[in-house]
């Protein structure tokens, strides 16, 4: 047959968001993509290695990228932060330009963090092809995200996306979509639940609390995960439904129970259990993990500059 064809060279363009696709085609592509995704740990990252302890101060804009240690500037003191061997965590978020003249455009912002320090920012402005449709987010925001990530020099060891990953009707949320296209470990962080069912009520939980989100009738389980045997479908009476993510209470006020949890799920090459650990390690006192919190702020800056 066709000799020496690089699978990636074929697979990558195949799943690129395309405005010409019908809804059924997009859904079909998502099923294929989910079958390609790995919902098991396939990386070298220890949650402790990506942990961020100090929240960035965003009251006066975004933090300056940490200047690389210059050749002559020896850092003999040995500060723990800024180790250039630490993994690079990239947070990404989108903002939108109001249809001033009829064409919607997305502003995508990426922030690279290493050893708790911002080392680089990148952004891209992209025309939007399709409207927002629950379940098809990747076909609206995927292209902008890829554009921003391509503009980034840093190579992500872990990608933190806004929105769901495996918590998705076809287990192919944007975190999974982008993770697979770039074949990089990724996790999805959503502020509300798209589908699936929490094991326990999420009301008024203390900081650090978590509960599994399992596939329900609305989730087509592809059972494509990399590991040994994923759980079966939700409809299987016997086996418990697959855990597709977790609700995670990243922040809570002592007495009143007002903060809603985060809904975190594997994007690609990360298990559901490790996903919560990553997110927990990346939170530094605010509801959102630092990478997305800073990406949020930078998206505003990029948006302002684009207007």
Could you list the residues that contact DNA (CB under 7 A)? 93-96, 98, 132, 134-138, 162-164, 168, 173-175, 188, 190-195, 253-256, 299, 303
CB 280 → DNA: shortest distance, Å? 18
CB nearer to DNA: pick between 2 and 256: 256
Q: What is the rounded CA–CA span in Å between residue 301 and residue 307?
A: 10
Q: What is the dihedral of CA 303, 162, 36, 16, to 10 degrees?
A: -20
CA distance 31 to 169: 10
Chain position carrying tokens 């505003």:
300
Residue 115 or 188: which CB sits closer to DNA?
A: 188
Distances (CA, A) of 76 to 69, 72, 218: 11, 11, 57
Cβ-based nearer residue to DNA, 22 or 98: 98
Report in angstroms how near the CB of residue 80 gets to DNA at its nearest. 30
Distance CA 178, CA 18 (A): 14
- Cβ proximity to DNA: between 115 and 266 the closer is 266
Nearest approach in angstroms of CB 165 to DNA is 7
Which residue's CB is nearer to DNA, number 114 or number 177?
Answer: 177
Question: Which of 119, 137 has the CB closer to DNA?
Answer: 137
Residue 6 has, within 13 A of its CA and on its CB side, a CA count of 4
CA neighbor of 294 nearest in space, from 5, 62, 6, 35 = 62
CA 79 to chain centre: 29
- Least distance to DNA from the beta carbon of 255, Å? 5
Handedness of CA 71, 74, 79, 80 (dihedral sign): positive
Would the annotation count 162 as a binding residue? yes
- Whole-Å CA distances, 238 to 196, 216, 235: 18, 14, 9
Closest separation in Å from C-beta 222 to DNA = 15
Distance in Å, CB of 168 to DNA, minimum: 5
* Residue 93 annotated in ligand binding: yes
Residue positions in the annotated binding site for Mg(2+)? 93, 162
Residue positions in the annotated binding site? 93, 162
């Amino acid at each position: 047959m066709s000799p020496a064809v690089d699978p990636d060279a074929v697979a990558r363009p195949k799943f690129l968001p395309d405005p010409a696709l019908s809804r059924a085609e997009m859904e079909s592509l998502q099923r294929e993509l989910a079958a390609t995704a790995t919902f098991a740990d396939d990386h070298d990252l220890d949650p402790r290695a990506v942990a961020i302890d100090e929240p960035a101060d965003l009251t006066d804009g975004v933090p300056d990228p940490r200047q690389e240690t210059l050749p002559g500037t020896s850092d003999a003191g040995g500060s723990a932060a800024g180790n250039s061997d630490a993994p690079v965590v990239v947070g990404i978020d989108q903002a939108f330009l109001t249809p001033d003249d009829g064409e919607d455009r997305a502003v995508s912002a990426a922030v690279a963090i290493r050893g708790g320090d911002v080392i680089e920012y990148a952004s891209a402005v992209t025309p939007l092809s399709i409207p927002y449709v629950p379940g098809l987010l990747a076909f609206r925001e995927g292209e902008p995200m890829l554009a921003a990530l391509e503009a980034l020099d840093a190579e992500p060891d872990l990608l933190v996306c806004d929105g769901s990953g495996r918590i998705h009707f076809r287990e192919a949320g944007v975190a999974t979509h982008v993770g697979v296209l770039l074949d990089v470990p990724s996790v999805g962080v959503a502020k509300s639940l798209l589908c699936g069912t929490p094991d326990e009520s999420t009301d008024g939980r203390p900081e650090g609390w978590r509960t599994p989100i399992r596939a329900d009738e609305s989730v087509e389980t592809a059972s494509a995960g990399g590991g040994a045997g994923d759980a079966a479908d939700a409809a299987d009476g016997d086996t418990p439904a697959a855990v597709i993510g977790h609700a995670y209470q990243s922040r809570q006020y002592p007495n009143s129970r007002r903060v809603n949890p985060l809904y975190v799920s594997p994007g690609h090459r990360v298990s559901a259990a490790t996903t919560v650990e990553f997110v927990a390690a990346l939170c530094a006192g605010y509801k959102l993990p630092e990478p997305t919190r800073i990406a949020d702020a930078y998206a505003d800056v990029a948006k302002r500059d684009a207007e």
